[in-house]
Amino acid sequence: MQTDTLEQIKDKIDIVELVRQYVPNLKRAGKLYKACCPFHHEKTPSFTCSSEKGLYYCFGCQEGGNIFNFLMKIENLSFREALEKLADMAGVELEPAKLLSADEQRRVNTRKVLDFARAYYHKNLLSRAGTQARTYVKSRNLTQETCEHFELGLSFDTGALQKAAQEAGFTLENLKDAGLCVQTERGLREYFRNRLIFPIWNPRGETVGFGGRILGQGEPKYLNSPETILFNKSHVLYGLNFAGPAMRKADRAVLLEGYMDVIGCHQAGITYSVAPLGTSFGEDHARLLKRYTQNIIVLFDPDEAGLKAALRAALILTEQGLFVKVATLPDGLDPDEYIARDGKESFEKILDNAQELIAFALQRQLEKHPAPLSPQAKTNIVTELTQIIAKQPDSIVRREWVKYVAETLNIDEPLVQQRLAQTFKAATQSPRFSAAPQHTVVRADQASTSVSAEEDLLSWILKSPQHTVLCSQLSEQDFSSPTLWELFQAIVKTHMQYPQADNLTEQTAQALPQQKNEIVKLALLPTPDDFDPARDIAACAAKLEKTGLQRQLQRLTQQMKTYGTGNVPPDVFQTYMQLQQKLKKYRS
């Protein structure tokens, strides 16, 4: 791929607009844009993005790069897949790939065999041998159109997929890579046998795996594809490929428990419904939903396990800055069963009347403590609820929750606030260790200050490389961080190769790919409001040289003490005097 094609794509796609598709809360902060990171959990935004530089960086998890890196990371794509998607967005025509890497070829083959299996399983369901499976589907009130829409399928108990795939030109290795066959003590065995099959798509509508429900006796009742190069359960929500546009239009999403719940809701027209894949709901799932809407309704089974899972999911969503409500269905019915009995309008009314998370949690606590509430019961309830309130990042909502708990339990609001403060303190209190010697703390602070100045200098010469000459006197002794010294050398060398460049971020990252994230971080460090490149770079370089001389002098002084009075070797004493002489220019 020619460099000019990549540059053409980068020129046409604003990284801020690309990132905003996945991080809707991206907000301007001076010249940069900031938000909570989409790659890890955090309450204080440390993810930054710059249109001017075409880069992003998170100061929390140290992930960074350009539009290609971002798309590869957030959608789990190879470089070629990200390139093709971005080229299509930019309207840039790509040359056909002449040679794929081994990893890219493996991903291509895995996609092909998954598409083959999806069509094969679906054909099985529609065949004469699929009568039992179709009877089960009909008993769940699913129409033929719905089965076609979700491409439901059937796996036989005969190993027929393996034979059909090999006849179609796929290898056993392809089948294993896709999780369709697994190696057992008895040899290679098909992963799904005698199951109703649910194709699993990623948000782009590409098949990445399958779910299977056992037909007849057997365990487990539901089974998902194993983890593969394309499939990770924590990064996929069932039905999201269909639900995404509906979520944005309705500005809400319903989080359900399983495949059939989602399919039943979509069939009824409630198309903003999704579900995790039979696994615990996690932070990655929450970040997926956050791309589409801020408003989530959690609706799980009304049994004890379902209610616990609903509360846990709601807390994860809340911590990610989403606004969460919890709904329950009467009579222990599943969503598809309730809709079949009482209709879509009644179901949506339940969604509309879903409880705020704090109300749901309080109701759960009241069910555990009989009325009238004793003082001890109120204490226990408030203690439990402040654990939940503390996870709410929005200060206004948090204040309203405190007020709601106080009023419902007939407790003075300041008492709830006091317990909440104790909860915050307990959560943030550091473990107690023996105090470190004072001189160690001072050295650590000095080292931190040195590194900060070194980072500033590197950040400034990346952005204003024409002033690199002002740093020519610096040596390895002037850097406390070996990594930053290596980066400094790389920037100087890159400037010599590209003397006309007005920003060296991309070129330096190519020269030191293993340090790409650190280079992007430096490029996105903010500059002072009154920044003067020539003045500040010269001053910073002088500061580093002075600090470096002081470090050398300190080490040499310690060394001289070991010799004793009158026993210092002449060359050591001469070096000591030279360092003192060099430091004179910095003394007033």
From 190-199, 299-308, 568-577, the region with the lowest mean pLDDT: 568-577
Q: Across the strands, what pairs with 325?
A: 297, 356
What letter does residue 354 receive in the DSSP assignment?
P
> How many angstroms separate the Cα of 274 from the Cα of each of 243, 324, 413?
7, 15, 38
pLDDT greater than 80 at residue 573 = no
pLDDT on residue 270: 97
pLDDT interval class at 98 (50, 70, 90): low
Considering the entire predicted model, what is its pTM?
Answer: 0.71
Cis status of the peptide bond prior to 569, with omega within 30 of 0: no
CA-to-CA dists, residue 364 to 299, 356, 399, 419, 429, angstroms: 15, 13, 21, 19, 29
pLDDT at residue 25 in the model? 85
Q: Report which of 548, 551, 490 is spatially closest to residue 522, judged by C-alpha positions.
A: 490
d(CA 459, CA 86): 28
253-255 and 295-299 beta bridge pairing: parallel
Question: Which fold would CATH assign to domain 3-90?
Answer: DNA Primase; Chain A (3.90.580)
Structural Rg of the chain based on CA atoms: 31
* pLDDT score of 110: 96
Q: 226 by DSSP, 3-state: which?
A: coil
pLDDT of residue 126: 95
What would the mean pLDDT of 386-415 be, rounded to a whole number?
94
Higher pLDDT, 428 or 423: 423
pLDDT exceeds cutoff 80 at 347: yes
Length of the chain: 588
Considering only CA atoms, which of 20, 16, 21, 43 is closest in space to residue 32? 16
Specify the CATH superfamily of domain 438-586: DNAb Helicase; Chain A (1.10.860.10)
Contact 241, 208 (CB under 8 A): no
φ/ψ of 487, rounded to 5, equals -65, -40
pLDDT of 28 above 50: yes
For 275, which DSSP code? B
pLDDT at position 439, please? 33
What pLDDT does 364 receive? 93
The count of C-alpha atoms lying within 13 angstroms of the C-alpha of 570, restricted to the half-sphere facing its C-beta, is 0
How do residues 262-277 score in pLDDT, each as one tens digit? 999 999 999 999 999 9
**Quick check: 73 pLDDT over 50?**
yes
CB 522 within 8 A of CB 462: yes
Task: Note whether 474 and 543 are within 8 A (CB).
Answer: no
Per-residue pLDDT at 428: 61
Tokens 């070797």 identify what position? Answer: 569
User: Which pLDDT does position 440 carry in this prediction?
Assistant: 32
Q: Is 545's pLDDT higher than 60?
A: yes
The SS3 assignment for 423 reads helix
Rounded CA separation 547/113 (Å)? 61
Percent of residues, the chain, with pLDDT higher than 70: 94
The strand pair at 295-299 and 323-327 is best described as parallel
- 195-247 pLDDT, tens digit per residue, is 999 999 998 889 999 999 999 888 889 999 999 999 998 889 999 999 999 99
Residue 572: pLDDT over 60: yes
* pLDDT value, residue 219: 86
Distance CA 114, CA 422 (A): 52
User: With 80 as the cut, is the pLDDT of residue 570 above it?
Assistant: no
Mean pLDDT score of the chain, rounded to an integer?
88
Question: What is the identity of the amino acid at 342?
Answer: D
Q: Quick check: 449 pLDDT over 60?
A: no
Q: Kindly report, residue by residue over 458-489, the tens digit of the pLDDT.
A: 999 988 888 888 888 888 888 988 889 999 99
Residue spans per domain, the chain: 3-90, 104-231, 235-353, 362-428, 438-586
Which fold does the domain 104-231 belong to in CATH? DNA primase DNAg catalytic core, N-terminal domain (3.90.980)
**What would the two tokens of residue 467 be?**
């002033």
Helices (H), 27-154: 67-75, 79-90, 102-126, 131-139, 144-149
Determine the average pLDDT of the residues in 99-109: 85
Give pLDDT, residue 381.
95
Highest mean pLDDT (candidates 168-177, 178-187, 574-583): 168-177
Q: What is the mean pLDDT of residues 142-156?
A: 96
- Domain covering 235-353 in this structure, CATH number: 3.40.1360.10
CA gap 579, 573 in Å, rounded = 10
pLDDT of residue 527: 82
At 442, is the pLDDT very low, low, confident or very high (cuts 50, 70, 90)?
Answer: very low
In percent, the amount of the chain with pLDDT more than 90 equals 49
Q: What is the pLDDT of residue 377?
A: 94
pLDDT score of 437 more than 50: no
pLDDT at 179: 96
Could you tell me the pLDDT band of residue 445, with boundaries at 50, 70 and 90? very low
Confidence of residue 577 (pLDDT cuts 50, 70, 90): confident
What pLDDT score does 167 carry?
A: 95
Distance of alpha carbon 255 from alpha carbon 244, whole angstroms? 13
Nearest to 306 by CA among 273, 329, 338: 329
pLDDT exceeds cutoff 70 at 436? no
Cβ 525 vs Cβ 455: under 8 Å: yes
- Bond before 372 cis per omega within 30 degrees: yes
> Which two three-digit tokens encode residue 326?
């919890």
**SS3 at position 65:** strand
Query: What is the rounded average pLDDT of the residues 356-378?
Result: 93
pLDDT value for 127: 94
Q: Which residue has the higher pLDDT, 514 or 250?
A: 250
Note every long-range contact of 500-508, with CB atoms under 8 Å and residues 24 or more positions apart, other chains counting. 501/465, 502/464, 502/465, 502/466, 503/53, 503/462, 503/463, 503/465, 504/461, 504/462, 504/465, 505/53, 505/55, 505/462, 506/66, 508/462
